[in-house]
Amino acid sequence: MKATLIIRDRLIFQDGAILEVKVWRVPVSVPPGSHFLKYSLFYGRPGERIVGYDNERGKGDHRHYGDHEENYAFVSIEKLMADSGGMSKGKEESEYEQGCTASYWRFF
């Protein structure tokens, strides 16, 4: 069985920022993870990742904030979407939040 694409969406904001989500159902989990999804969530500009979530073979589930990378406890696609929208709560308004207009929330 091959990987099956289940979500692929992309938004381009008026300021040039890009929000892209891709999710595949895979027949074998992506090590070291135990779930059967391969995913990538990207928010940034051409050539610049501002925020990202993905699971990479050998690294597992993790997220990126600019140049910083940390482990991420993946639970579900719904939780990933919720977490990606609340990444900078409690901090000064970030570039990410400025790009998240009403269109972003309709996207999910």
Tell me: the pLDDT tens digits for 20-52?
999 999 999 999 999 999 999 999 999 999 999
The pLDDT value given to residue 68: 93
Phi first, then psi: give them for residue 94, nearest 5 degrees: -95, 175
Domain ranges, residue 30: 4-107
| pTM (whole model) above 0.85 | no
- Residue 11's identity, in one-letter code, is L
CB atoms within 10 A of CB 63: 19
The pLDDT value given to residue 77: 87
Q: In terms of DSSP H, where are the helices of the chain? A: 77-85, 95-99, 102-107
Instruction: Provide the domain count of the chain.
Output: 1
State yes or no: cis peptide before 32, omega within 30 of 0: yes
Whether residue 55 contacts residue 62, with contact meaning beta carbons closer than 8 Å, is answered with yes
Better pLDDT: 38 or 89? 38
